[in-house]
A and B are shown apart, each in its own frame.
Chain A
Amino acid sequence: MADTWSLGSHTFTSRLLVGTGKYPDFPTMQRALTVSGAEVVTVAVRRLDLSKKGSESLLQWIPKGMTLLPNTAACFTADEAIRTARLGRELDMGELVKLEVIGDKRTLFPDVEALVQAARVLVKEGFTVLPYTNDDPVTAKKLEDAGCAAVMPLGAPIGSGLGLRNPYNLRIVMETVSLPVLVDAGVGTASDAAVAMELGAVAVLMNTAIAEAKEPVLMAEAMRDGVAAGRKAFLAGRIPMKLHAAASSPMTGLIGS
């Protein structure tokens, strides 16, 4: 049976979700997205630059068949995030939204109080809400109670590449909610993605780690493989850690014994 997962009415096979920001150029982004195997790509909603007529559209560079996940990045209030989500839905005609309400410019940590408020409103309006949140189990539970379709705790600050700073909290989040848990933000390299999946994340969302790698297309492939390896290791069930050795070769039948 295929190893799939679901968000609202969507079912996916790939467990890597990729952002579309910060690539050196659109052709590189397109190749990276294709190689990543991602089925979901995030996009941001911004004012159209009315001085630049006929500028290239992002959408024509996103490979066909990928599901768009509009975000509410850089919104600092619940109201801004709600309005941005509605505009994203009008643009895409889809109900998915990556909900971000940012509380602090320097760290881009979420304002979880406003996040929960915005989530309640958007769920009532029929959105499939995927909130970007802190690695806090209490907030995760509130987001579940608000009717979110998943929770997306950060591994580390957005774009930091620090990896999973608190894997223990991520585990507690995973055992606290019965929703899919996606690790969103903080991944720096393929091993970070693998660790997130080994912990039991349903999927991993990343942007900068691919887009700002020296070779974004190669890193997209590495991330695809890291996520896949981590998922397989999770399903396979790792051995418990032991303090002392447990020999792999027989300790009997040695020559000269």
Chain B
Amino acid sequence: MQLRLNGEIREVKDGTTVAALLVQLGVRAPRVAVEVNEVVVTKDRYEAHGLRAGDAVEIVAFVGGG
């Protein structure tokens, strides 16, 4: 299925969870925050939150800023 991940279309296996997506991307969960369809998914729900085709996923981190 296709997701929109940080603004770009990406193919993932059906039923991928947020936790599985982060593993697949090699992203360390403590350093990021995740939003699916404009709603934050808290860390305790990464395992349970299954993604669906067409979901808009944002993975963010802190960067320098004023």
B-contact bits for A60-87, CB 8 A (1 contact / 0 none): 0000000010110100000000010011
Main secondary structure of the interface of A (DSSP, over half): mixed
Most buried by A among B25, B34, B66: B66
Cβ–Cβ contact A58 & B64, under 8 A: yes
Interface 1/0 per residue, A175-218 and B, CB below 8 Å: 00000000001000000000000000000011110000000000
* CB-CB nearest in chain B for A43: B62
Q: How many residues of B contact A (CB 8 A)?
A: 24
From residue 24 to 53 of chain B, which have CB atoms closer than 8 A to chain A? 25-27, 31-35, 38, 40, 42-43
Interface size on A (CB < 8 Å)?
Answer: 37
Report A-chain residues with C-beta under 8 Å of the C-beta of B40. 86-87, 90
Give Cα distance in the complex from A207 to B65, angstroms. Answer: 8
Tally A-B pairs: CB < 8 A. Answer: 98
Q: Select one of A22, A45, A206, A207 contacting B62, CB under 8 A.
A: A45
Check A58/B63 contact, CB under 8 A, given A47-B6, A48-B6, A83-B38.
yes
Which residues in B have their C-beta under 8 angstroms from that of A48?
A: 6, 27, 32, 59-61
**4 tightest A-B CB contacts, nearest first:** A44-B65, A207-B66, A19-B66, A90-B33
